[in-house]
Amino acid sequence: MKILGLIGSPRENGNTATLVNTILEGAAENGAKTKVYHLARMDLKPCKGCMSCSLDGKCIIDDDMQELYKEIMSSDAIVIGSPIYMWQMTAQTKTIVDRLIALTCWQPCAKPEFSRLLKVKTKLVLAYTYGNPNPNNFDHYFKYMEGLFSFLGFDVQESIWVSGTTALDDIYHHSEIFERAKELGKKL
């Protein structure tokens, strides 16, 4: 069982990284192999909309997303973590989400076998942190994101989030989240 963590915060030791790493720790405790990427550290360019991927399922942009495509396709489960920036995921996270288009089935598919790519039903957990203290402030957005990833073919397991995190270590004021995050990882 391989579980991939994709952290979309530019703060490598921030709240989102702590949340994602706690989920992965839980998974590792149950024997999963885990691997983490910090998106802000990587060379990830935005989708050009060139549509080349509709012909052969391959993205022509030669950057670190090529490595992530392989990781995503070879993982049993993925944890995508992002802070909320201006009511949504960070630009780093959105960049890779747009680039997932290369793994989806275009209608009509130029090559039908590509329709399988995301139909493998990779499990997905969405993890967020945000500054607003209201724990329900972004419920609508989190539901919307679950809908998007289900549409893309992921087997969405759960969304988990921590509100009221501003300083790097504010997540530690929410001790209950650590148990929940670990359990979620174990369940994966």
List residues near ligand FMN by CB under 6 A.
9, 11, 14-17, 83-87, 129-132, 165-166, 168
Least distance in Å: CB of 12 to ligand FMN? 9
Shortest Cβ contact with ligand FMN: which residue?
14
Q: Name which of 19 and 59 has its Cβ closer to ligand FMN.
A: 19
Least distance in Å: CB of 102 to ligand FMN? 27
Q: Name which of 9 and 22 has its Cβ closer to ligand FMN.
A: 9
Q: Name which of 2 and 180 has its Cβ closer to ligand FMN.
A: 180
Q: Name which of 151 and 172 has its Cβ closer to ligand FMN.
A: 172
Q: Tell me the HSE value of 138 on the side-chain side, using a 13 A CA sphere.
A: 27
